[in-house]
Amino acid sequence: MSYIAPFIESEDVVKLIRDNSKIPGKDYLIIDVRDKDFRGGNIPGAINMPAGQMLDSGNDLIIKYRNVPLVIFHCALSQERGPKSARIYNEIRHLTGEKGNQEVVVMRGGFDGWHAKYHKEKDLIDNYEPSIWGIFEDDLKKDEEEENPFLAGIPKPSSS
């Protein structure tokens, strides 16, 4: 039996988060397995369980969230820690005889992909620290000015 979790697209996760009828931790669970790289921002409603703790704490997660129908794992890129943690979670579920129709998936692209797509959407990143991502206040102002169609072609005031 394969315990490898399939991928879910970030757009599908956005739909879950923005669906006001869905409650994190009840209708879905996002497990962010980044450790020190967790600082700087996270997906709203995600819990942080560093990948290195999955073997020791996975069973506690399974018990606590056994009735959540969809569990979404991710790390920075969802290439190693996220998929491995999802596999360990599935293996623990099997070894402990956990029953139920819980679907375990890995978010494609991880938080780096999420950040690249959604860093300007304030409802999609909690605890955001742009400077950690190399984005500084001047960059944010520049982006805002460039994106405002009403400012197109209007000379910027001189800073004297």
Per-residue model confidence as pLDDT tens digits over 46-80? 999 999 999 999 999 999 999 999 999 999 999 99
Write down the pLDDT at residue 133. 81
Write down the pLDDT at residue 6. 97
Write down the pLDDT at residue 145. 54
Distances (CA, A) of 75 to 22, 44, 147: 23, 14, 30
Rounded to the nearest 10°, the torsion over CA 121, 130, 111, 47 is: -90
- pTM summary value: 0.84
- Evaluate the CA torsion angle 117, 120, 125, 130 in order and state its sign: positive
Structure token digits, residue 35:
């450790």
- Evaluate the CA torsion angle 47, 52, 57, 62 in order and state its sign: positive
Q: Can you give the length of the chain in residues? A: 160
Write down the pLDDT at residue 138. 61
pLDDT tens column, 2-39: 789 999 999 999 999 999 999 999 999 999 999 999 98
